[in-house]
Protein backbone atom coordinates (compact mmCIF):
# COMPACT_ATOMS: atom_id res chain seq x y z
CA UNK A 1 0.00 0.00 0.00
CA UNK A 2 1.12 3.52 -0.63
CA UNK A 3 1.16 6.27 2.00
CA UNK A 4 -2.26 7.64 1.00
CA UNK A 5 -3.92 4.22 1.36
CA UNK A 6 -2.22 3.71 4.75
CA UNK A 7 -3.56 7.10 5.90
CA UNK A 8 -7.07 6.23 4.66
CA UNK A 9 -6.95 2.90 6.49
CA UNK A 10 -5.67 4.56 9.67
CA UNK A 11 -8.53 7.08 9.57
CA UNK A 12 -11.09 4.33 8.96
CA UNK A 13 -9.63 2.24 11.78
CA UNK A 14 -9.75 5.17 14.22
CA UNK A 15 -13.37 5.87 13.31
CA UNK A 16 -14.62 2.27 13.53
CA UNK A 17 -12.42 0.67 16.21
CA UNK A 18 -14.80 1.12 19.16
CA UNK A 19 -17.98 0.08 17.36
CA UNK A 20 -16.34 -3.06 15.95
CA UNK A 21 -15.00 -3.94 19.40
CA UNK A 22 -18.50 -3.53 20.92
CA UNK A 23 -20.02 -5.73 18.22
CA UNK A 24 -17.34 -8.34 18.84
CA UNK A 25 -18.15 -8.25 22.57
CA UNK A 26 -21.80 -8.85 21.84
CA UNK A 27 -20.83 -11.85 19.75
CA UNK A 28 -18.52 -13.50 22.27
CA UNK A 29 -19.31 -11.98 25.70
CA UNK A 30 -15.66 -11.48 26.67
CA UNK A 31 -13.72 -8.23 26.21
CA UNK A 32 -10.38 -9.97 25.68
CA UNK A 33 -11.77 -12.24 22.99
CA UNK A 34 -13.61 -9.23 21.52
CA UNK A 35 -10.28 -7.44 21.15
CA UNK A 36 -8.84 -10.51 19.39
CA UNK A 37 -11.83 -10.76 17.06
CA UNK A 38 -11.72 -7.05 16.22
CA UNK A 39 -8.00 -7.29 15.57
CA UNK A 40 -8.51 -10.30 13.29
CA UNK A 41 -11.16 -8.43 11.32
CA UNK A 42 -9.04 -5.28 10.95
CA UNK A 43 -5.95 -7.27 9.92
CA UNK A 44 -7.98 -9.03 7.23
CA UNK A 45 -9.32 -5.66 6.07
CA UNK A 46 -5.82 -4.16 6.00
CA UNK A 47 -4.59 -7.01 3.80
CA UNK A 48 -7.36 -6.36 1.27
CA UNK A 49 -7.56 -2.56 1.60
CA UNK A 50 -5.81 -1.82 -1.70
CA UNK A 51 -8.12 -4.22 -3.58
CA UNK A 52 -11.38 -2.70 -2.35
CA UNK A 53 -12.76 -0.48 -5.07
CA UNK A 54 -16.15 0.34 -3.56
CA UNK A 55 -15.32 2.22 -0.35
CA UNK A 56 -19.00 2.10 0.57
CA UNK A 57 -18.71 -1.67 1.00
CA UNK A 58 -15.96 -1.52 3.62
CA UNK A 59 -18.36 -1.65 6.59
CA UNK A 60 -20.08 -4.72 5.15
CA UNK A 61 -16.75 -6.44 4.48
CA UNK A 62 -15.51 -5.71 8.01
CA UNK A 63 -18.79 -6.87 9.57
CA UNK A 64 -18.74 -10.10 7.58
CA UNK A 65 -15.12 -10.75 8.52
CA UNK A 66 -15.92 -10.16 12.20
CA UNK A 67 -18.88 -12.54 12.15
CA UNK A 68 -16.89 -15.26 10.39
CA UNK A 69 -13.99 -14.87 12.81
CA UNK A 70 -16.40 -15.19 15.74
CA UNK A 71 -18.00 -18.34 14.37
CA UNK A 72 -14.61 -19.86 13.50
CA UNK A 73 -13.25 -19.06 16.95
CA UNK A 74 -16.24 -20.68 18.66
CA UNK A 75 -15.52 -23.92 16.80
CA UNK A 76 -11.99 -24.25 18.15
CA UNK A 77 -11.71 -27.08 20.67
CA UNK A 78 -9.92 -25.04 23.35
CA UNK A 79 -12.80 -22.53 23.37
CA UNK A 80 -15.38 -25.08 24.43
CA UNK A 81 -16.32 -24.33 27.98
CA UNK A 82 -17.08 -26.91 30.59
CA UNK A 83 -20.09 -26.04 32.73
CA UNK A 84 -20.52 -27.32 36.27
CA UNK A 85 -23.46 -27.27 38.64
CA UNK A 86 -21.38 -26.10 41.59
CA UNK A 87 -19.52 -22.81 41.78
CA UNK A 88 -15.91 -23.01 43.00
CA UNK A 89 -16.51 -20.28 45.60
CA UNK A 90 -19.62 -19.41 47.61
CA UNK A 91 -21.44 -16.20 46.72
CA UNK A 92 -20.79 -13.26 49.05
CA UNK A 93 -23.55 -12.29 51.45
CA UNK A 94 -25.49 -9.08 50.95
CA UNK A 95 -26.59 -7.33 47.78
CA UNK A 96 -25.10 -9.00 44.75
CA UNK A 97 -23.63 -6.88 41.99
CA UNK A 98 -25.35 -8.97 39.31
CA UNK A 99 -28.72 -8.11 40.86
CA UNK A 100 -27.91 -4.43 40.49
CA UNK A 101 -27.19 -4.79 36.78
CA UNK A 102 -29.44 -7.77 36.15
CA UNK A 103 -30.80 -6.71 32.79
CA UNK A 104 -27.43 -6.31 31.05
CA UNK A 105 -25.81 -9.26 32.81
CA UNK A 106 -28.78 -11.51 32.10
CA UNK A 107 -28.80 -10.49 28.46
CA UNK A 108 -25.07 -11.18 28.07
CA UNK A 109 -25.40 -14.53 29.85
CA UNK A 110 -28.36 -15.41 27.66
CA UNK A 111 -26.47 -14.46 24.50
CA UNK A 112 -23.60 -16.75 25.54
CA UNK A 113 -26.05 -19.68 25.56
CA UNK A 114 -27.25 -19.00 22.01
CA UNK A 115 -25.34 -20.94 19.30
CA UNK A 116 -22.76 -18.82 17.42
CA UNK A 117 -24.56 -18.41 14.08
CA UNK A 118 -27.86 -17.57 15.78
CA UNK A 119 -26.01 -15.16 18.09
CA UNK A 120 -24.47 -13.50 15.04
CA UNK A 121 -27.92 -13.05 13.48
CA UNK A 122 -29.33 -11.57 16.71
CA UNK A 123 -26.41 -9.17 17.11
CA UNK A 124 -26.66 -8.00 13.51
CA UNK A 125 -30.45 -7.63 13.62
CA UNK A 126 -31.03 -6.09 17.04
CA UNK A 127 -27.72 -4.48 18.02
CA UNK A 128 -26.32 -3.44 14.64
CA UNK A 129 -29.78 -2.53 13.32
CA UNK A 130 -29.56 -4.39 10.02
CA UNK A 131 -32.69 -5.61 8.28
CA UNK A 132 -33.19 -9.23 7.16
CA UNK A 133 -31.72 -8.55 3.71
CA UNK A 134 -28.66 -6.86 5.21
CA UNK A 135 -28.00 -9.75 7.59
CA UNK A 136 -28.42 -12.24 4.73
CA UNK A 137 -25.86 -10.32 2.68
CA UNK A 138 -23.35 -10.17 5.55
CA UNK A 139 -23.66 -13.87 6.35
CA UNK A 140 -23.93 -14.97 2.74
CA UNK A 141 -27.18 -16.88 3.21
CA UNK A 142 -30.82 -16.58 2.20
CA UNK A 143 -33.30 -14.24 3.86
CA UNK A 144 -35.34 -17.28 4.87
CA UNK A 145 -32.31 -18.66 6.68
CA UNK A 146 -31.90 -15.36 8.53
CA UNK A 147 -35.56 -15.44 9.58
CA UNK A 148 -35.36 -19.01 10.84
CA UNK A 149 -32.03 -18.36 12.63
CA UNK A 150 -33.58 -15.27 14.22
CA UNK A 151 -36.59 -17.25 15.44
CA UNK A 152 -34.39 -20.03 16.81
CA UNK A 153 -31.98 -17.57 18.40
CA UNK A 154 -34.80 -15.67 20.10
CA UNK A 155 -36.24 -18.99 21.32
CA UNK A 156 -32.86 -19.91 22.82
CA UNK A 157 -32.59 -16.46 24.37
CA UNK A 158 -36.10 -16.69 25.84
CA UNK A 159 -35.28 -20.08 27.32
CA UNK A 160 -32.04 -18.78 28.76
CA UNK A 161 -33.65 -15.67 30.25
CA UNK A 162 -36.77 -17.45 31.44
CA UNK A 163 -39.02 -14.57 30.39
CA UNK A 164 -40.47 -12.90 27.30
CA UNK A 165 -37.87 -11.08 25.21
CA UNK A 166 -38.99 -7.83 23.61
CA UNK A 167 -37.35 -7.36 20.23
CA UNK A 168 -39.07 -4.20 18.97
CA UNK A 169 -38.62 -5.11 15.35
d(C-alpha 65, C-alpha 68), whole Å: 5
Question: Each residue of 44-80: pLDDT tens digit?
Answer: 999 999 888 888 889 999 999 999 999 888 777 655 5
Question: Each residue of 73-120: pLDDT tens digit?
Answer: 877 765 555 656 665 555 555 545 445 445 777 788 888 889 999 999
Output the DSSP codes for the chain.
--HHHHHHHHHHHHHHHHHHHHHHHHHHS-HHHHHHHHHHHHHHHHHHGGG---GGGHHHHHHHHHHHHHHHHHTSGGG-----SS-SSPPPSSS-HHHHTHHHHHHHHHHHHS-HHHHHHHIIIIIS---HHHHHHHHTS-HHHHHHHHHHHHHHHHHHHTSPPP---
pLDDT greater than 80 at residue 35: yes
Q: Which of 33, 105, 106, 43 lies closest to 71, judged by CA?
A: 33
122 and 150 in contact (C-beta within 8 Å)? yes
Mean pLDDT of 151-162: 87
87 and 137 in contact (C-beta within 8 Å)? no
Give me the pLDDT at residue 77, please: 64
Give me the pLDDT at residue 18, please: 95
pLDDT greater than 80 at residue 23: yes
Question: Each residue of 110-150: pLDDT tens digit?
Answer: 888 899 999 999 989 988 889 999 999 989 999 999 999 99
Give me the pLDDT at residue 169, please: 44
Mean pLDDT of 15-25: 94
Amino acid sequence: MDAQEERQFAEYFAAKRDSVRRSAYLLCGDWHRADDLAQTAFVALHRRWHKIRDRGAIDAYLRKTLIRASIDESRRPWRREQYTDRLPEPEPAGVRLDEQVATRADLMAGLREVPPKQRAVLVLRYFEGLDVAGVAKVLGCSEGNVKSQTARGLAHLRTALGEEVETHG
